[in-house]
Structure 1
Amino acid sequence: MSSPAQPYRGVFPVAPTVFDASGALDLDGQRRAIDFMIEAGSHGICILANFSEQFVLTDAERETVMDAVLDHVAGRVPVIVTTTHFATQVCAERSRRAQEAGAAMVMVMPPYHGATIRVPELGIYDFFRGVSDAISIPIMIQDAPVAGTPLSAAFLARMAREIENVSYFKIETPGAAGKLRELIALGGDAVVGPWDGEEAITLMADLDAGATGAMTGGAYPDGIRQITDAYAAGRRNDALDAYARWLPLINHENRQCGLLACKALMAEGGIIAHETARLPLQPLHPDTRAALIELARRNDALVLRWGR
């Protein structure tokens, strides 16, 4: 089955990387997590992102996870592969491999290292141009505070206009709605996909600003769809009501749990056997985890029922 036609729109959650109790890759659990995410309504899936703990994986493990997921999805939904790396050459090669393996898109952060090593706009521009030259699928620029790299709306719009495959943007910075609005105004048709990020905590404001996609945590695409489907159908009040219902859970994930939330919910629901995060990441405090489960249960999130 071929992937849906572009432009890609809708809910594209980030899949966790699933480990066993010892911290080794659990590919059977990985496949179950992917099946759940598709059946819960994901229009597509993103893998190897920060919420996938990409920074604790070896290069060989990245390849293993990518190939396992793309083979298992088998075109049921488009898959975005995160290929971020500081070096243009390495990022370009990762992106080329992702395309060859069947990725619909790559997601890339601007080059940064540690707390202080940054490159100027010229270097960032040349970086994305080099990655674009290596592939023929879309590039999503991930504009996130973790990079510590300011990317103005004007600069993003310029790259969209001038670099062939730069066409999607995941905006996670403070004031995301305002930035999306400016990006759309400046970039015009070159901005194919202005997307909401950061677990949908600002989803309504971003939809009102023109966002056409949402990249959220992977545990409750069924809940996010209640918001985005209503909005897309022109039922803004219904979307607001759904947002109000799901926002306590979104907020708890974003502010209290971070990347551990998805695996905790999937483990609680019997989708995966272990919610292990690789050291030095620490497990959720039991009280934080209990509150997460409580909030998901109040909304009858499919994640708590799918694997039972």
Structure 2
Amino acid sequence: MKINWQGVFPAITTKFDQNDNLDLDAFKKNLDVQIEAGIHGVILGGTLGEASTLTEEEKDQLIKCTLEVTDGKVPVVINIAEQSTKGAVAAAKRAESNGAHGLMLLPPMRYKADDRETVEYFKAVAAATPLPIMIYNNPVDYKIEVTLEMFEELADIPNIEAIKESTREVTNVTRLKTKFGDRFAVLCGVDTLAIETMVNGADGWVGGLVCAFPAETVAIYELMKSGRIEEAVAINRWFMPLLELDLHPKLVQNIKLAEVAAGIGTEYVRAPRLPLIGKEREEVLAIIDAGIRSRPTLPDYKALAN
């Protein structure tokens, strides 16, 4: 499947049961709601997916399950976050053999590679698979920035097609579009900056709170792309306290609580993560409950989709 790197791509959470096993029924329920809301792709195995805690067999199960549920309606993209080039190449090949449609690729984990090492890492993975690749640029969390000069070195590699822009610098979208035109699709990777990056030309949105509120997320995207900015801004103002739950070390616990409140998830996380307790839990639940109570009535945003 050719990937059109446009629209809303949820970084989907992994559902567990009380015995720390995959809860595929809950996982499927959430995916069904995502697809019904009009998402444009699914990303598995990111931070929200707790991928670093999953076995390879569990990852295989999740890919198979996602492909069954999506049934060709939207592309399924697998995140790769490995410590070595060898490991990343193996992960890319495994994703391809499992039927994934594309990859989201982070720089090397743990070791802070320099620019040359990072570019060579990306090139090696791209050479190992024909799958289309989105480079995840998040120097805030992962301490390596993929600069314009580095993207220039990657621009002649045809299957590196997109960038998940998470530098927190909104004008970086303008810089990328000015330098490269449409060579790379650019997707916002920071929930609180989605509208601003779309104004600047971003092609899509890799979301976190979309896991709990897919309709609202897709509505904002479709309204923005249709030029109905005031309507999108109004929904975004309602959404902002919820979106800020993504910008937190415990974003997984936060978003899973929001999924429970929305009726499309479970709260269970895999240790060393633990469910929120005490005042911290109460504060997050207060934000979620306020959002649920004031949830906006959405326009017929699906009619706006191309």
**TM-score range, shorter-chain basis?**
0.7 to 0.9
Which residue pairs with 1:251 in the alignment? 244
Which residue pairs with 1:203 in the alignment? 194
Q: Distance in 1 between matches of 2:262 and 2:195?
A: 28
Structure 1 contact 223–301 (Cα < 8 Å) conserved: no
Which residue pairs with 1:24 in the alignment? 21
Which residue pairs with 1:306 in the alignment? none
Q: Indicate which of 110, 119, 123 corresponds to 2:117.
A: 123
User: Would the alpha carbon gap of residues 84 and 257 (structure 1) be closer, same or farther in structure 2, given more than 3 Å must change?
Assistant: closer
Q: Distance in 1 between matches of 2:217 and 2:160?
A: 26
Q: Distance in 2 between matches of 1:28 and 1:241?
A: 34
Which residue pairs with 1:132 in the alignment? 126
Q: Is 1:295 aligned with 2:291?
A: yes
Query: Match of 2:273, SS?
Result: coil
Residues 263-304 of structure 1: CA distance to partner in whole angstroms, max 9, x if unpaired?
2232234334x31111121212331223223213311599xx
Which residue pairs with 2:186 in the alignment? 194
Q: Distance in 2 between matches of 1:253 and 1:293?
A: 16
Identity of aligned residues (%): 25
Q: TM-score, normalised by structure 1?
A: 0.87
Residues 150-190 of structure 1: CA distance to partner in whole angstroms, max 9, x if unpaired?
2212322431x122211211111121x21111112222332
Alignment of 1:69-108 (within 5 A): 69-108=66-105
Structure 1 contact 153–179 (Cα < 8 Å) conserved: no
Alignment of 1:271-282 (within 5 A): 271-272=264-265, 274-282=266-274
Shift of 1:132: 0.8
Q: Which structure 2 segments of 5+ residues have no match?
A: 299-306
Structure 2 contact 165–173 (Cα < 8 Å) conserved: yes
Structure 2 contact 262–292 (Cα < 8 Å) conserved: no
Residues 104-132 of structure 1: CA distance to partner in whole angstroms, max 9, x if unpaired?
2100110131xxx2122221111111111
Which residue pairs with 2:162 in the alignment? 168
Q: Distance in 2 between matches of 1:71 and 1:301?
A: 31
Q: Distance in 2 between matches of 1:291 and 1:257?
A: 15
Q: Indicate which of 122, 143, 154 corresponds to 1:148.
A: 143
Query: Match of 1:86, SS?
Result: coil
Structure 2 contact 212–262 (Cα < 8 Å) conserved: no
Which residue pairs with 2:304 in the alignment? none
Shift of 1:203: 1.0
Q: Which of 11-20 and 248-257 deviates more? A: 248-257
Shift of 1:6: 4.0
Query: Match of 1:80, SS?
Result: strand
Shift of 1:230: 1.0
Query: Match of 1:215, SS?
Result: strand
Residues 209-252 of structure 1: CA distance to partner in whole angstroms, max 9, x if unpaired?
11001001111121112211111112222222222222222123
User: Would the alpha carbon gap of residues 209 and 35 (structure 1) be closer, same or farther in structure 2, given more than 3 Å must change?
Assistant: same
Residues 30-53 of structure 1: CA distance to partner in whole angstroms, max 9, x if unpaired?
111211211222111111111111
Shift of 1:255: 4.3
User: Would the alpha carbon gap of residues 67 and 77 (structure 1) be closer, same or farther in structure 2, given more than 3 Å must change?
Assistant: same
Structure 2 contact 3–101 (Cα < 8 Å) conserved: no
Q: Distance in 2 between matches of 1:126 and 1:27?
A: 37
Query: Match of 1:46, SS?
Result: strand
Runs of 4+ in 1 over 6 A off after TM superposition: none
Query: Match of 1:107, SS?
Result: strand
Which residue pairs with 1:49 in the alignment? 46
User: Would the alpha carbon gap of residues 300 and 20 (structure 1) be closer, same or farther in structure 2, given more than 3 Å must change?
Assistant: farther
Shift of 1:257: 5.2
Q: CA RMSD in A?
A: 2.0
Q: Distance in 2 between matches of 1:143 and 1:205?
A: 17
Q: Which structure 1 segments of 5+ residues have no match?
A: 303-308
Shift of 1:256: 8.1
- Partner amino acid, structure 2, of 1:137: L
User: Would the alpha carbon gap of residues 7 and 41 (structure 1) be closer, same or farther in structure 2, given more than 3 Å must change?
Assistant: closer
Q: Is 1:221 aligned with 2:214?
A: yes
Q: Which of 224-233 and 253-262 deviates more? A: 253-262
Which residue pairs with 1:185 in the alignment? 178
Q: Distance in 2 between matches of 1:43 and 1:168?
A: 15
